[in-house]
Chains A and B, each alone.
Chain A
Amino acid sequence: GAVVSQHPSRVICKSGTSVKIECRSLDFQATTMFWYRQFPKKSLMLMATSNEGSKATYEQGVEKDKFLINHASLTLSTLTVTSAHPEDSSFYICSARVGTGYNEQFFGPGTRLTVL
């Protein structure tokens, strides 16, 4: 099956710094990538939909200036948490969709962000 990687797998940063998380589709081209946030013992919350070459579409309540998403190529999307604070600590998961229309999503392994 299609493989999606995320880097880094874990990151610890100080409050006020910015953190970039990469999501790559390794063996396919992903026109659409999704970014999720998962709190402990909770479901996945969709943050934004990232389409290659265009601006990301953010879900209601997600601060787009706080969570910057760039989908510069068909295999790479990045999520930058700007001026991170302890409440941004979470597990961030990306997924990538093959082709157009509705197809299944392939999930990355997730990135654990801890803000001190």
Chain B
Amino acid sequence: AQSVTQPDIHITVSEGASLELRCNYSYGATPYLFWYVQSPGQGLQLLLKYFSGDTLVQGIKGFEAEFKRSQSSFNLRKPSVHWSDAAEYFCAVGSFSNAGKSTFGDGTTLTVKP
């Protein structure tokens, strides 16, 4: 079974500081990996995805993530955080063999200090 762990429930960073959100997955085959952002009371917006190829993936809003197979990780990074980045972030893993279903981590709440 596939699973996702986001070790950090809540992270607080200062505006302008760098950010890294951790994600570890468990899956026997090649995973498809995603990062989503959710603002309060809203649906999910895809930030970036990894299916194959270059392990460093660029996304929207200045985010990037790196797939590290040896560490089963897909950490999300941003060099300089903006106040508007405050939201809930979800990492998800999916696979072709599992009928296209995605499994989500429990999320990390990002707070941005002025």
Is the contact region of chain A dominated by helix, strand, or loop, or is it mixed? strand
Q: Chain B CB within 10 Å — which of A41, A44, A112 has the most?
A: A44
B side interface size, CB within 8 A: 24
A67 within 8 A of B: no
The interface stretch among B68-76, B78-86, B89-97 is B89-97
**What does DSSP make chain B's interface, helix, strand, loop or mixed?**
strand
Count A/B pairs, Cβ under 8 Å.
55
Instruction: Count contacts on A: residues with CB < 8 A to the other chain.
Output: 27
Q: Mark out the residues of chain A between 1 and 55 whose CB falls within 8 Å of any chain B CB in the assembled complex.
A: 1, 4, 6, 32, 34, 41-44, 46, 49
8 pairs, A vs B, C-beta closer than 8 Å: A4-B43, A44-B90, A46-B102, A91-B41, A101-B100, A102-B94, A104-B34, A104-B46
Nearest 3 CB-CB pairings of A with B: A102-B96, A109-B43, A107-B44
